Each structure stands twice: as C-alpha cells, then as structure tokens.
Structure 1
Amino acid sequence: MTAVNINISFLNPSIFILVGIPGLEGFHVWFSLPFLLVYIVTILGNCTILLVVTLEESLHTPMHFFLCMLAITDIIGSTTVLPKTLSIFWCDDKEIHIDACLLQMFLIHSLSVMESSILVAMAYDRYIAICDPLRYNSVLTNALIVKIGLAIVARGSVLIAPLCFLVKTLPFCGTNVIANTYCEHMGLVKLACSGLLVSKVYGLTVALSVVGLDSIFIALSYFRIVQAVLRLSSPEARVKAFSTCRAHIAVILMGYIPALFSFLSHRVGHNMAPCVHVIIGNLYILVPPTFNPIVYGMKTKEIRERVLNLFLRRKGLS
C-alpha cells in the first residue's frame, strides 16, 4: 500500500529537487565563489548602465534606450537563477515548489527570447543610423521605441507561456530530482513519463524560429550596413561607422554562442557528463549579462566618458 502511495505522489509532485552540479556536489562551495562574483559584477555593471543613461540627457537616444532594455533583462535573468543557485551551494536548499519552478522556467526562456529581440532592435537602430541617418530621429521616435519594447515583452511572454502550460500538464513518475541548478524546459521534460512529443516539438520550434528569424534579420541589417559603409569615400568615415557597431556585434556573439552550445549539448551531447551539461547551461545564463555592460562600457565612447565623469564628479563632491 505504501509503494502505491509513493508512486501516486510522483505522478503530480508539488516539490522538485535541484541537485546543483551533479557529480561535483563536494565542490559546491568553491563553485559559489565565481558564481557570487559574476552576480555582483552583473548587478553593478547593468545598474551603472541604467544610472548613467538615466542621468545623462545626451544619452537619451534610441540606441541607449535599447541598451537599458538589455540591462533590465540581464538583471532580472541573473536574479531569477543565481540566488537560488547560491542557496543550493551554501545551504543545501535544494527544494523548489512546482509553481516556483515553472515561474523560473518561464522567466529564463521568455527573457532569452526578449534578449534576442532586443538585439534585433539594436541591429535595426544601427541600420537606420548608418544607412539613413537624416531620418534617424524621425523614424526612431520615443513612441516607436515604447511600441518596440512592448512588442518585445509580448513576444517573449506569448511564445513561452504555452511551454509552461504543456509542462504543467505532463505526468511525472519515477523521480522529482532535477540534475541542474535551476528549472529549465528540457530538465523538466526529461522527468515526465509520457506526453513528451508535443512539449519537445513546441520547445524546439520556438527555439529554432526565434534564433533563426532573429539571426536572419540581424544578418540582413548588417549586410545593408556593410554595403552603405563601403560606399563611403573616406577611410576614416568607414572606421567611424564600423566602430559604432563593434559593441553590438560583440554582444550578439556573446549571446548566441553560449546559447548554441547549450542547445547542442541537450540535443546531440548525449555522451557528455551531466556536470558538463549543467556548467554549459550556466554559462549560457551567466556570461552575457556579466559582459554586456563591460563591452558597452569599453567599446562605446559616450558611455565610457559618462561613467568616468559620474564617478569623478562624485569623488570630487566627497
């Protein structure tokens, strides 16, 4: 009778167990140090971007507004994952309620879609700035930026919400242990004992369509940008035009490359050790939010100068 009750409890578990980094549990305290450092750098860097853009009127431009959107998604995304991860590492707090697990999954995947959409918006911003500079302010108005921001949030939410609903309806049997530091779609689907096909197909379709379409839009924008820059007669003008795109290109590479490795590790990396899957997944979550503000701070002259002026001014006041 007891065995039957145990099996029934796992058909619809209310609690899941996050093991952390499987096989490396004894090193959790050591892993917590770089994780904590990454979180601190992420919060400080992105909050600095938000503060500088807010305080400096000269930075109230479409490109910097999109950068603020990126900073907000990075802060929310890191805060969705890292506090729980650190509680696992430090306090062995591995339990997570199913509703909190689904909320974490929703935020992780929807924010990934939103971040990809923001990179597309930034590419469009660079396209207008370089290919049609005289109409830049008339095209990218504040009203349009607000509409783009709302569309980005709606796109991420609408695409990922059905994924959470599909996972919620799956029957779980056998175990409620998730071999990861956070709840994500494939980790939950692997625990289900039936009804996997629809959820897997929908998740794969969303991932491929978002990355595929966004990559095409970004590539087309930069194809037109390159054409416009090469038509410039002055080498100095070409260098200056390309320099305005360096930070955006670096952020694109940092966003898509870890995501590609994480995607491939789940689909084709069946011989990988579980700890490798988890570490790659965490890199996909943690690396872009940490380095995005650093890249824009170093590569964008306006932001770099405003950050230095802001801190020098405060130092002088003190």
Structure 2
Amino acid sequence: MRSDVVFPSAGLKLAGHLYIPDGQTPGPAIVVGHPGSGVKEQAAGLYARRLAERGFVTLAFDAAHQGESEGEPRDLEDPAQRVEDLKAAVSFLLTRDEVDPDRIGALGICASGGYALAAAATDPRIRAVGTVSAVDISRQFRLGADGVQDPAVVTDLLAAASTARTAEARGADVQRFPLFPVSEEEARAGGPHVHEGWEYYRTPRARHPRSATSLTWTSVDRIAGFDAFASLSLLAPRPLLLIAGRAAVTSWMSVAAFQKAYGAKELAWIEGATHVDLYDKDEFVTPAVEKLDGFFTAHLAG
C-alpha cells in the first residue's frame, strides 16, 4: 500500500511516498533517494515499490527544492541539504509503528548513491547501505561522467556560478542552466551517456512534469566542494553493496567507493547494463532488486 506523507528536513517540508507491505508488523525499512534531477515518481519510486513487494517498508521522497517538496529557489542541488534530507527520512521512519528502529537501511540511486554513502557514514541509525549506479556528483562535475573531463570545464562552471551569484545579489532573477539538450540530435552528439539521460528524462519513457530540467547556478559551487566519499571510513563495520552496470560510463565511481570503503562490502555487476538502464529497464532492474533484497534481508535481519 502506498500513501502520501510529509516530513521535515532542516525547516522544510519534504513530500514522500511511503510503501507499506500488506500485513506489515514492525519490520525492516529502507529510505530510497532519487537521482539528480529525478523525482520520487521515477526510478526511486520503482525501486521502493519493488522492495516493498518483498516485505520492506520503503520511503521514496523528493529532495528539498525539488519535486513536490518545499524549498526556494527551485531546482537547487545542494549536497549538504540532500544528505540532511536522507537523515530526515530516517528520522521520519523512526516515528512509524510499522518500522523496527533497529532495522533501517538506505538505498541511493545515481547522485543519491553518493549522498547515501555520506549520510550513512555519519548516521549509525542507517544499518546497511545499497547503491545503484552510484555517482559522486562532485566528481561528475569536476571530472566528467567518464572521469576524463578537461579540468578547464569545472573552472569555467565555477566562474559562471560566481557571476550568477553577483547578478542575483544585484537584483537579478535566479540564474539557471539547462541539464539536457533540446533535441535528440543534440543529445546524440553529446555521446551515449548524454543521449540515454535525455531519453529517460525528456521522452515519454520516464518524463515527469516535476522532474528538473535545469539547475540553479548557485548549485555548482556547492557541488564542486562536496566529496561523497570523504567519510567512508566511518561506515564500517556496517555493510555496503554497490551495484553498477558493466556498460555504465560512471561505474568507475562505484569502483572508487568500493576501494575506499572498509569492512563488509560488495561490488555487484549487472551485465550489459548502462548507467540509466538500471533506472527502469526490467531486464536490469530485476536482478538489481534481487541483489538488494538478499543484501537488506541479510543485514536488516534484526
């Protein structure tokens, strides 16, 4: 059963979908974070529903400043707030009678994979962490999705962000930049990763009216100064599962997180899958969910 819920995060009201299995008694629960620019109705909601069907209470929610959640300006991507949102979601689950307070895990998809690692590292209430197509959004902005981006790119982005901050201080409207190409032709010209992101977010495949199509320029310097893996040493001995597509251009970030983590950890590959394939394509989502089910069942066993 899915219900609409609202809970606070640093003074803002976040909108979520809470999935409760039929006949649920206090049991394990999982917070599910959405990809950058995503909303709870897309990949996060799919994984939340699929895991609820396997007996977990799950909570998918919109990050602050995005989707149906509160926060101005809209379309702000603030890593510190995103980490806080995940911790606030855990706090909300702790108020629910359906949830065993000692059996809460976190699942992060794409950018939320990085945020979930950062949140769990400093919040021991999160007993196990899983990620799907994990991205450290700072590394992606600084180094590119493939890790080989010219350093001049982020230098130019930071310059543009500082210009936008100055303009806004002088009375200009909030300054934004587009996240996706306008046409499929432009998307294909950007390479396979750009095209598959465009196809997911900007076509009937998964397009949603509340999914962000731009970010504020003031997001950029917040993102560039973040490091999702900085506190990973604090996660142990709690277990970690990283799931990545074998064909994902971003998989090097899951490898980097795996190498930096201590304790019980596993890097699981989904053969043939790209980064975005794991958002919604059943032939790849199903084995990912099966892996997550086994992982969370074992480590949230009570």
Q: TM-score, normalised by structure 1?
A: 0.27
**Quick check: which one's helix share is greater?**
1
Higher relative contact order (CA 8 A, sep 6+): 1
**Quick check: which one's strand share is greater?**
2
